[in-house]
Amino acid sequence: MTKKISTVLLAGITATLILSNPSSANTVNKHFDNNNFLVSQATNRGNSQELIVSGTEPFWSVTVSRKGIVYSTPESRQNFPYVAPLTASGRPANLVRVYRLRGRNNAINTLVIREGSCSDGMSDTKYPYSAIYIAGNTVLEGCARAK
C-alpha cells in the first residue's frame, strides 16, 4: 500500500512540475494588429515567434525571422543572417532576447528585446515588448510586437 501511494505521489509531483515549468511547454504565439514592427524568434522548444520592432524619430525597423534579420530606415536597409538570440541567465526565455549581428567591417550591432509594456510616443498603441538597437555609437529605442 505504501509503495502504491509513493508511486502515485511521485507521478503527481512530476506531472505538476512538468506542466508548471514554462521551459518545458510550447510557447503560445501572440499576434497584434499594429503598424511599424520588428520580427523576432522565440526560443522555447524550436517554436518560432516572429516579432516586429520599430522606432520613431528617427524612423527605423528590424525584422527577425529564420530567413534573416533586416534593419531598415527610410534611407537604407541592411541584411544579416539569422542568429539565435541570447537570453538572460536564470530568466524565462522570452523575457529578454539579445541578437548579436555582425555587420559591415565586422562591426557588431546589437538588438535587445525585452518583455514589458511600451508606447511608441506617437500613437496610443501599446506594445508588449520594448526594444533597443545599437549600431556603433548610435542607440535607437523602440517597441515590438508579435507579427
Read off the pLDDT of residues 78-133 as tens digits, 9 standing for 90 and up: 999 999 999 999 999 889 999 999 987 888 999 999 999 999 888 888 999 999 99
How many angstroms separate the CA atoms of 82 and 70, rounded? 9
User: What pLDDT shows up at residue 106?
Assistant: 87
The pLDDT of residue 20: 32
CA geometry: angle 126, 131, 132, nearest 5 deg: 145
Q: Does residue 88 fall inside a structural domain?
A: yes
Residue 64 counted as domain residue: yes
Cα(47)–Cα(88) distance, rounded to whole angstroms? 18
C-alpha cell at 96: 529578454
The verdict on residue 7 lying in a domain is no
Stated length of the chain: 147
Note if the bond before 58 is cis, omega within 30 degrees: yes
Q: Which residue has the cell 538572460?
A: 88
pLDDT for the residue 124: 80
Sequence-separated (6 or more) residues with CB below 8 Å from residue 39? 50, 51, 52, 53, 62, 63, 64, 65, 147
- How many distinct structural domains can be found in the chain? 1
Residues of the domain holding 46: 28-146
Is the confidence at residue 51, as pLDDT, over 50?
A: yes
Threshold 0.75, pTM exceeds: no
Residue 108 inside a domain? The answer is: yes
pLDDT given at position 130: 97
Average model confidence (pLDDT) for the chain? 74
The answer as to whether 4 is a domain residue is: no
| Euclidean distance between CA atoms 47 and 75, whole angstroms | 33
With respect to residue 75, please indicate whether it lies within any of the assigned structural domains. Answer: yes
